[in-house]
Chain A
Amino acid sequence: MARAVTTRRKSINTAIAWAIGILIFFPILWTILTSFKTEAEAISSPPSFLFFDWTFENYAAVQERSNYFRHFMNSVVISLGSTILGLIIAVPAAWAMAFVPGKNTKNVLMWMLSTKMLPPVGVLIPIYLLFRDTGLLDTRTGLVIVLTLINLPIIVWMLYTYFREIPGEILEAARMDGATLRDEIIHVLTPMAVPGIASTLLLNIILAWNEAFWTLNLTAANAAPLTAFIASYSSPEGLFYAKLSAASTMAIAPILILGWFSQKQLVRGLTFGAVK
């Protein structure tokens, strides 16, 4: 009897999880479907779900008009660059906060998080002027720097949480065996925190890939990533929904595939140390 109840509860939970999952994924599915419609079908009412004349014309039009590969490469360089640079800075910072905390560590952590609460447009002009004077406008280097700084609080916080789960005694033992600080971080701490570091890496790549304020405002033609590629297909005067959907699908496809293949790693990392 108890088993029957458990099974039923499990099925209900599974059904709820599926329903929520589909609900969250539906806008993306709808975007993908719309990208295969003609502009007239894209706005037809009632909308057709699967039974329409499938066409690739929007992808052809997008490909003809824009240099997708250039935008794609910019996105790859910017998101990977900013994440790796962020990790290089954040691993030692999180180590210090987790294993040798001072009396102000908590305050520093909170202060770092508070920088995420400022609306980015508030500092647009100062950063724009700094970039102008240092020649960083419309460069990948400039975007790597700014996205590193923006995502750094999240990277530090995530790593700090993971590092706190690792017993300090193991690091102490390594030190007793003569490990230097560098060895301790690289050879002892990092291997133990791989799931956490991997999930931090993946999450930050996704955040940097999707960042659409700085990447739009600090670029023009040379360093514009896929967010600018999407923005070039939106229009308040004229219906370009199908082409916009095609551009969006092309922009999210790489990150969707990355997320799909690394979902186990992501979930493992995000729940690392959740059950004590």
Chain B
Amino acid sequence: MTNIRRALMGATALCVSALAAEAQTTITIATVNNGDMIRMQGLSNHFTDAHPDIALEWVTLEENVLRQRVTTDIATQGGQYDVLTIGTYEVPIWAKQDWLLPLDDLPEEYNVDDLLPAVREALSVDGTLYAAPFYGESAMVMYRTDLAEQAGVSIPEEPTWSDIMSAAEAMTDRENEVYGICLRGKPGWGENMGFITTMANSYGARWFDTEWNAQFDSPEWQETMKDYLTMMNEYGPPGASSNGFNENLSLFQQGKCGMWIDATVAAGFVTDPDESTVADSVGFAKFPNKEGVDNHGNWLWAWSLAVPSSTDAPDAAKEFVAWATSQEYTQLVAQEEGWRAAPPGTRTSLYENPEYQEAAPFAEMTLNAIQSADTQNQSVQETPYTGGQFVAIPEFQGIGTAVGQQFSAALAGQVSADQALQSAQQLTQREMDRAGY
């Protein structure tokens, strides 16, 4: 009898534990490897403590690997992930394909109206939010205040390209390996084309006219390329055609760049005294424009969390997305690691916080840059597309990279600016015709 009772109790215990295990939902989160995301992973025990019924599995990958991986999965409805980290490029395209679940049922305390309007708009389709921004960025000028002073130049808060070119000339000191300006040159739609497209926008250029005809033969593009190549060849570092974000960050942190124009997220790195040798002498200015063109590039990117429609745990996934992009999470980061580490560029309340303003000297310029980015009107000319430093069409990854290779070749001196533009025009037109635009 005792044995039977023991066996029954054992079986009951097993059933209970099996049910408990079943009651726990595991969600798999695909994310990119950068400081803010790693911090989120480190702090996620606060989420699981508050939600014991949800377990988290992390898949952290390099940005380009992640993009290929999640694109394959979502396009085939593989269902491997419950939360995806994607950007402003993917969200509108994937939402239109019904690959993402709308985030129109976020709890009231999430305070969706606190999201920066430009970011919210970039992540919405027809007014419905499809991804929650985790951190946002635009582009701006970062410059060495000490070198500018030494060279006797001042950089206005809203510089024009002429201001930038003359400052670059004045700050260049090749003998001491100080280069007036560092810009992206490595080919790729998210590499050099991120910068060059933004620069072209600020020159009044556009990728396509309203009939989807490529516009690389326009005078605006010719002027953009001429000035880009002049700056890089005369005042830029050697081997610039293989420099991307990281290479320029490294050069700037070691005091070898007078100016660097890139993503606002870099401000946190170049002013970090643990990493940067020039942390106390960095100034910030708005992304330049050409005289007479009312356009500062419209660079806008927000790494965001989205829930794919192929998930089998939509509620748990949305719960996590709401937590990781909430005001409560920002407070948690501030409490654990200080206000400087708070994920930037997503919420108005962060920029109204005096503690954050004090801890992050770049806060105001970052906010200005993000707020002035208009992703619906990328160029001063009329366009059939939206975007910013990219064109939000599925074909852009391929076309952007191919054009980027032409421009990088021009920077390396393998072809002339005119040849590069001509090739870009031909290949873009061919691909667009083939895609049926």
Which A residues lie at the B interface, using CB under 8 A? 39-40, 43-45, 65, 124-125, 128-129, 132, 137-138, 216-217, 220-222, 224, 228, 231-240
Asked if residues A239 and B275 are in contact (CB atoms below 8 Å), the reply is yes
| Known A44-B254, A231-B62, A238-B35; contact A217-B275, beta-carbon cutoff 8 A | no
A222–B191 Cα gap in the complex (Å)? 32
Asked if residues B263 and A237 are in contact (CB atoms below 8 Å), the reply is yes
Shortest Cβ distance from residue A168 to the other chain B in the assembled complex, whole angstroms: 48
- Return the chain A residue nearest B186 by Cβ: A236
- Return the chain B residue nearest A121 by Cβ: B68
Q: Which of B32, B76, B191 contacts A235 (CB 8 A)?
A: B32
Interface size on B, residues (CB 8 A): 44
Contacts of A222 in B (CB 8 A): 57
Contacts of B190 in A (CB 8 A): 236
Contacts of A232 in B (CB 8 A): 33, 59-62
B311 within 8 A of A: no
- Return the chain B residue nearest A236 by Cβ: B63
Which B residues lie at the A interface, using CB under 8 A? 28, 30, 32-35, 38, 41-42, 57-65, 68-69, 72-73, 75-81, 190-191, 244-246, 249-250, 253-254, 256, 263, 265, 269, 274-275
Contacts of B275 in A (CB 8 A): 39-40, 239
Contacts of B265 in A (CB 8 A): 237
A231–B32 Cα gap in the complex (Å)? 10
Interface core residue of A234, A237, A240 (most chain B CB under 10 Å): A237
Asked if residues B72 and A220 are in contact (CB atoms below 8 Å), the reply is no
Q: Which of A39, A65, A220 contacts B80 (CB 8 A)?
A: A220
CB-defined A-B contacts under 8 Å, sample of 16? A40-B274, A44-B254, A65-B41, A125-B72, A125-B75, A220-B30, A220-B57, A220-B59, A232-B60, A236-B62, A236-B63, A236-B64, A236-B246, A237-B246, A237-B263, A238-B35
Asked if residues A239 and B249 are in contact (CB atoms below 8 Å), the reply is yes
A8–B60 Cα gap in the complex (Å)? 54
A178–B63 Cα gap in the complex (Å)? 62
| Known A43-B253, A240-B33; contact A231-B61, beta-carbon cutoff 8 A | yes
A225–B380 Cα gap in the complex (Å)? 49
| Known A217-B68, A231-B65; contact A128-B76, beta-carbon cutoff 8 A | yes
Interface core residue of B35, B76, B81 (most chain A CB under 10 Å): B76
Asked if residues B34 and A237 are in contact (CB atoms below 8 Å), the reply is yes
Given A238-B246, A239-B246, 18 more pairs with CB closer than 8 A: A45-B250, A45-B256, A125-B75, A132-B77, A132-B78, A137-B78, A137-B80, A216-B65, A217-B68, A217-B69, A217-B72, A222-B57, A235-B62, A235-B246, A236-B64, A236-B190, A236-B244, A238-B269
Contacts of B78 in A (CB 8 A): 128, 132, 137
Interface core residue of A43, A45, A124, A125 (most chain B CB under 10 Å): A43
Shortest Cβ distance from residue B344 to the other chain A in the assembled complex, whole angstroms: 13
Asked if residues B254 and A43 are in contact (CB atoms below 8 Å), the reply is yes
A124–B73 Cα gap in the complex (Å)? 11
Q: Which 10 A-B pairs have the closest CB atoms?
A: A234-B62, A232-B60, A221-B57, A220-B80, A43-B250, A235-B33, A238-B34, A132-B78, A231-B61, A220-B59
| Known A43-B253, A65-B38, A138-B80; contact A239-B57, beta-carbon cutoff 8 A | no
A238–B60 Cα gap in the complex (Å)? 15
Contacts of B38 in A (CB 8 A): 65
